[in-house]
Amino acid sequence: MPNTAIVFPGQGSQYVGMGSDWYEADAQARDLFDEANEILGFDLKKICFEGPEGELRQTKNTQPAIFAHSIIVAKAVNNRDAQAMAGHSLGEYTAFVAAGAITFEDGLRVVRLRGELMQQAGEQRKGTMAAIVGLSAADLEGICQEASAAGIVQPANYNSPGQIVVSGEVNGVRKAMEIAKQRGAKLAKELVVSGAFHSPLMESAKDGLKEALERISIRDAEIPVYANVTAEPATDASAIRTLLYRQLTSPVRWEQTIANMVRDGVHSFCELGPGNVLQGLVKRTRSDVQISGIDKFSGMKEAARP
């Protein structure tokens, strides 16, 4: 995989039944799921395999579920030859674990806490998010500034050209949607989320996350991971800690991340973990690259050779 980047999905890619085929077919997957249950002190495996969906969709459960599934796939695929890695929001933690900077145990504990803190922040300060399609980043940034008179709102995910998610207070986000429609957006759709992620409404989660990141051991990454906050490669341990902390209230610069990976020589992308959201985003960003993914155990051989 010398010119391949591995990418890891974030929240929203979960589904009931995720990882169950791996558990049945792969001894290493069984060990990792059992280890995850032991580390967390509850039955994550049961939530992944059986749901119910409402429980799996709780942020505090969604994040460790996607993380565990993605790491299981990453360990089954020889990703050590990858040129680069990245992950969308939560997926960035997966990427740093896969790149050897953080242990599986520490990563799982922090991801679970991050999910709990984000869920609590969403309950304390009710916010929302909306997908806006068909406007440039510059136009939408201007719209958010204009709409912020009604309430906090800012771009949260620069997902692909013309597809940006905004996040913030309900009135601010809805005002931004209204203005975006007036300015010619093809779509302005409010999302079903438990909080205004990647916005200042997550501020109350920052102290707890900072303490957790300071408690764990972080080493230099063996493979460059392109950070959400900067869209540039990071390997330095102290920089990783800071970037993961800043990510909580900063936009995910995914479109720029993909562009920068291509700039640096990547011409093939492989998504590891549940779903195929990132494959779609990469395709819409760069139609000239190879794209593949692996979610199910049955697809491992094909997806491991992007």
Which domains, from first to last, does the chain contain?
4-122+201-303 (3.40.366.10), 127-194 (3.30.70.250)
* Residues whose CB is less than 8 angstroms from the CB of residue 266 and which lie 6 or more positions away in sequence, other chains included: 3, 4, 5, 83, 84, 289
Q: Counting Cβ atoms within 10 Å, is residue 265 exposed (0-12), middle (13-18) or buried (19+)?
A: exposed
Which of 32, 79, 10 has its CA nearest to residue 270? 79
Comparing 18-32, 70-84, 189-203, 251-265, which segment has the lowest mean pLDDT?
Answer: 70-84
Q: Is 136 a catalytic residue?
A: no
- Provide the greatest CA pair distance for the chain: 55
pTM, rounded to two decimals: 0.96
Give mean pLDDT, residues 23-39.
96
The single residue of 13, 198, 268, 292 carrying the catalytic annotation is 198
Determine the straight-line distance between the first and last CA of the chain, rounded to whole angstroms.
8
Q: What percent of the chain has pLDDT over 90?
A: 94
Interval 97-111 mean pLDDT: 98
Question: Mean pLDDT for the chain?
Answer: 95
Angle at 115 between CA 110 and CA 118, to 5 degrees: 120
Out of 70, 89, 194, 250, the active site residue is 89
| Catalytic residue status for 88 | no
| Mean pLDDT value across residues 113-132 | 96
Q: Is the pLDDT of residue 300 over 90?
A: no
Has residue 21 got a pLDDT over 60? yes
Q: In the structure, what pLDDT confidence band is assigned to residue 305 with cuts at 50, 70 and 90? A: very low
pLDDT at 78 over 90: no
Question: What is the per-residue pLDDT for 81?
Answer: 79
pLDDT surpasses 60 at 306 = no
Least confident of 101-110, 229-238, 294-303: 294-303
